[in-house]
Amino acid sequence: MSVFPRTHLRSPRAARRLGAATALSVLAVFATACSDSEQAPATPAAAGDRVTMSDQWIKAADSGMSAAFGNLRNTGDAPVTLVAATSPASDRVEIHEVVPDSTGAKTMRPKAGGITIPAHGEVTLKPGAEHLMFMDLKQPLRTGSETSLTLTFADGSSTVVTAQVRDFAGGKENYAPGTENSSHGG
Ligand SMILES: [Cu+2]
């Protein structure tokens, strides 16, 4: 059965024109539907809402440097990258990695590009591996106290966690570049 009853069509030519117009309007409807769906995509949650940190702790220290560790888990469907961290306990917090230097000794340095956590994956920050370096403590970090830590991701979102201060004697790496002689738990 035709969409357009014959009685309304004066000639085959008119029928063709009407058919073309109908096709265009159908296309227009599809185009509208498409652009509507583009305007309202399923927005992925901010990285700060998808990443959790567990077992987070920071090494007790009287002054100078210290380091924070813990388990970062990404609950989302896309990788996220931790690009910065801050804490009221330190003027500056850096993301560090530990690599062997030319003599094979463990040396830590700022990690270029930050730390990427795979989709539905996790990364463990631990002594001798990636960690968050507190560069200049504002006051002593006493065992049993805690400090907050703000993690910022590549999309600009962030999350705040509370880290326990713990005694820790291991993880003595040198720091490169610049202060090669300073050794601390990192
Ligand atoms: Cu470090």
Q: Cα–Cα distances in Å, from 160 out to 10, 118, 136, 166?
A: 73, 20, 20, 19
Q: How far does the centroid of ligand 1 lie from the alpha carbon of residue 109, in Å?
A: 6
Do 11 and 81 lie in one domain? The reply is: no
Cα separation values, 2 from 5, 22, 125, Å: 6, 13, 69
What is the C-alpha separation between 47 and 141, in angstroms, rounded? 29
What is the domain extent for residue 22? 6-39
Q: Residue 104 above 70 pLDDT?
A: yes
* Among 33-37, 61-65, 74-78, the least confident range: 33-37
**Strand pairing report for 115-117 and 80-86:** antiparallel
Distance of CA 140 from the midpoint of ligand 1 (Å):
18
The amino acid present at 159, given as its one-letter code, is T
Q: Are residues 163 and 105 in the same domain?
A: yes
For residue 165, the CA-to-ligand 1 centroid distance in Å is 16
Reported as a single tens digit per residue, the pLDDT across 3-28 is 545 545 455 565 555 555 555 555 55
- Is 1 contained in some domain? no
**102 and 125 both lie in a single domain:** yes
User: Per-residue pLDDT tens for 142-167?
Assistant: 999 999 999 999 999 999 999 999 99
Give the separation between CA 147 and CA 184, rounded to whole angstroms: 19
Look at residue 65 and tell me whether its pLDDT is greater than 90.
yes
pTM: 0.71
**Mean model confidence pLDDT for the chain:** 82
Tokens of 157: 């979102």
| 103 and 147 assigned to the same domain | yes
Say yes or no: 134 and 63 in one domain: yes
Does any domain span residue 65?
A: yes
Structural domains of the chain, count: 2
